Structure 1
Amino acid sequence: MNDLFSASGESPAISVSNLNRQAKTLLERGLARVCVEGELSNLARPASGHLYFTLKDSGAQIRCAFFRQRQRGPTIGFRDGDQMLAFGRVSLYEPRGDYQLIVDRLEAAGEGELRRRFELLKKRLADEGLFDESLKRPLPALPRRIGVVTSPSGAAVRDVLSVLRRRFPAVPVVIYPAAVQGDGAPFELIAALNAAAERAECDLLIVGRGGGSLEDLWAFNNEELARAIRACPIPVISAVGHEVDFTIADFVADLRAPTPSGAAELTVPDQAEWLRGLQATTLQLKKLMQRRLDDHAQAVDWLARRLAQSSPAATVTRQTERLQNARQRLMLAVRHNLNLHERRAEQWQSRLLRVTPSARVDKNAWQLQALRERLGRAALGRLKDLQQSLAITARALDSVSPLATLERGYAIVTDRQSGAVLHDADDVEIGASVRARLANGDLLATVTGRVSTADNKKS
């Protein structure tokens, strides 16, 4: 778009977004924070919590946006047609090109002058040092009596009494009645403070009232009342309106409470916690006293023992016990020495018995008997070994004996004349006489023929 030019060729064309962005920058930089008065109209409350409306007068109007995060206090009472003061800055909503006011604070137009007077008085008293923290006095941990400066028929006094009755009913309360709204309210409040100071029956004062508009709370923005609170010799808690409400009395008092009920919460402890603390302290004191009593009892016992030990009878008793102990130790020592000598005598007697000739003969006879038994056992073992060896040899000889062969059906053939064992049939003549030995008996025979080994193989 920047490369395109208008028909006249004087300047490059810009986008709508760029134009709105430049216009927004000029508006926000060119106009400082403003306060605009006008009639409220077209009020919209979307679910987001933001407020969108129009401020108008007889000649013009402007769109306004009051975002939820900037809202301080309730806005439910705002209605179309209300005359309002809107504090904020001028801006532009780029997507639609809408010129608008971004609101930081919104209040009724009638409150504007009161707000200005409040700020001026606050600044002047602060410059005087009336709000300095160094002037704040500490509150008593548990007041003996509490004074309440407020309207006796308002909700504030009922809230204070209810909280005090619930938290710590043992503390008495004195009501100093005074109007809390209207032109004469500051003077009645000052008179009540002076009366409380003169009577000096309370060591803590609560000054306050319930919530309301800025006009309703204006009595507590009075300069004379602020100086009376600061000059009061009794510590003062200011409890005016709700948590979002601030008055001059809040800044000059020794402590500010968000509500009258909150002031009552701050003045006294919770009786349940207090009683638990007292019970714990009582238990601790009992333990300490018991410990002290035990320590003193031990000291008395120790002194009594020392007194008993230092008496003549105790001395005689101790000496008698020492004599008996010494006698027992002496008897034990004598008995020990006797036992020692007896054991030594027995040892010498045993040694003498071992070296006499009869003992040596008995010892040698015992050794000879032992050797004889060992020799008998060795001979028997040797005989068993030889018997086992002979049996093994007999079995080996029997396995190769000719007699064993005869038992299996064979025969030993010998020449009758020479007795030689015949091994080869070719060595025997036809008609020769032979002898065949069998397992049982012999056979005498004459050779009538022969068959050689070769013939056996052929057959």
Structure 2
Amino acid sequence: MTGQQPPHSETFATAPPQALSVTQLNHQIRFLLETHYGSIAVEGEISNLAKPASGHIYFTLKDSKAQIRVAWFKSSVGRYIPKHGDSVIVSGRLSLYEPRGDYQLIASSVRPAGEGALQQAFLALKEKLELEGLFDPGKKQPLPSRITRIGVITSSTGAAIQDILTVLKRRFPAIEVLIYPVAVQGENAAPQICKAITLANEHASADVLIVGRGGGSLEDLWPFNEESVARAIAASQIPVVSAVGHEIDFTIADFVADVRAPTPSAAAELLSPDQQEYMQTLDQYESILWRAMGKILQEKSMIVEHLHKRLRHPGQLLTEQNRRLDNLQEKLARAIRQSLYQSNQMLILQHQRLMSHTPDETLNQLKKELNRTHNSLLQAIRLIIQKRSEALRANARELNAVSPLATLERGYSITLSQQQTAITSLSQVEVGDVIETRLHQGRVLSKVEKKLNG
């Protein structure tokens, strides 16, 4: 007893003042059962098994003389799913289903009744083989670094082979799979597994073997705890990966095998490279190559740019000569205008003097003097123009030797920035800049709307 008082404890007096209701009685009986009995284990045979959609399991546990109802709720149900006629050990607590007054056992776990003997046999064989050195890590073979063919020893209709094939198809479908179909539970399972291991070694057709099956009870997995199977795995010249049951399941085969995988899917993952990793590696190599090429191109571009700065482009020389010619033309025009202005001023002055004295002879002399002066001035101007033109033609001949004008005549052009420098790279212009394109005949002004690489 826990020391707790049941509800309506006053009804347990020697002379109850009034009768109990059925609800009160069932409630008190339930309280007594749950507080008097702790966790208990009951062995019996399953009958009247029911598995409703809720996920709970209900059955009757019986022996030759009595029976008790059992409720195994979904939250406690484990990997082992009982079936009608199984001999099991049910652990749990006693209770009462009050609406019907049914006395029942609330199960916390259900396990096959024969697992205790199997567990003892498992531990005995494990100790024996361990003493013989079959579990010695130094005797285990390493897995091949490159696997092209995998032999799978399992049931051809079980979930394990489907899981393995699904993983291999996803990760690396180029790996060939040889299936050695065997029984994986029952009396014939161990001999078939041993025969398949021997056959695979005789043919030497696989790089590695997977020996295993899906999950189950200790009894279901027992063929992989047989001594004959353990010795067949140990004698295999082909590396063996055991993949028996779920991650928490351990068999003798797991200890003897060269590598243990927690599940068949994990075995396939272990033995197959990930094709996505291969693709990522190739992408990385491609990136490294592109970076190396970019670095080389950048270095070469810096060398070219350095040489370009040292070498003056003929177009730059032509531009400078054109500027000089423009300056000379402007100076000549100013000189002519200045000379004409001075001559005009002198003419006005003489005309004023003439008008004030009006001597015809003096006027004639002055006109002649004016004509001579005018002719001398024109001759001087022509001489200056002739000398300047000859110098210009000489400069033009020199420039033509290095000028791209001949190239311009063939349809090419030179593009200049607003600063009148030749544009050779996108970095010299921005969207919205006005640029000048010099053709063989004439010039074109453009506005940059878009920059395109390549």
Question: TM-score, normalized by length of structure 2?
Answer: 0.49
Question: TM-score, normalized by length of structure 1?
Answer: 0.48
Structure with higher Rg: it is 1
